[in-house]
Every structure is written in structure tokens, then in C-alpha cells.
Amino acid sequence: MRINWANSLISMTVNSTRWYGWGRDQSTGRDAAKTREDLARELEHKLKQLGNLLEPVLIMGVGGLVAIVLISMYLPMFRLGGVIG
């Protein structure tokens, strides 16, 4: 299952609620394990959204760095050609 790492991250929070006697959601009567699964899915969804937002920004950043390197390499060659020619 893909959300195991999220379950382990959230289980500490849910287990601490059991320690204090808050192991059941009073409004719906659902188990803490079900709540943990819901929170894990929500966390995975939010992280996927964050990745989808950051991907274009990172691509543009890498493209900018490549452009800076290319300009810094070719600009001295063009200046040298102007001096010689």
C-alpha cells in the first residue's frame, strides 16, 4: 500500500489521542484507525498537489541556470570575435 509512510507519520498523533481517551470520533463514532487512513490519504493528496505546483517552478529555475551558464560561456567568445574582426 502506498500510504504506509503517511500512516506511520499520523499514527503517533492518533495514538496520543487514545492515550488521553479520545480514541473515538464522537460525532460519527468512527474508529481512530479509520480517521488515520483518512488523514493519510489527505496528506498524500496535499503532498501530490504541492509537487504539482513546484514542478514547473523547478523546471523554470533549472532553465534559467542553464541560460546563465550558456550566456557566460558564449559572451566572451563573441567579444573576442569583435576585437579580432
Residue 10 contacts by C-beta under 8 Å, 6 or more apart in sequence?
A: 36, 39, 40, 43
Q: Of the given ranges (32-36, 54-58, 66-70), which has the lowest mean pLDDT? A: 32-36
What pLDDT is recorded for position 13? Answer: 60
**Residue 31 — very low, low, confident or very high, per pLDDT cuts 50/70/90?**
confident
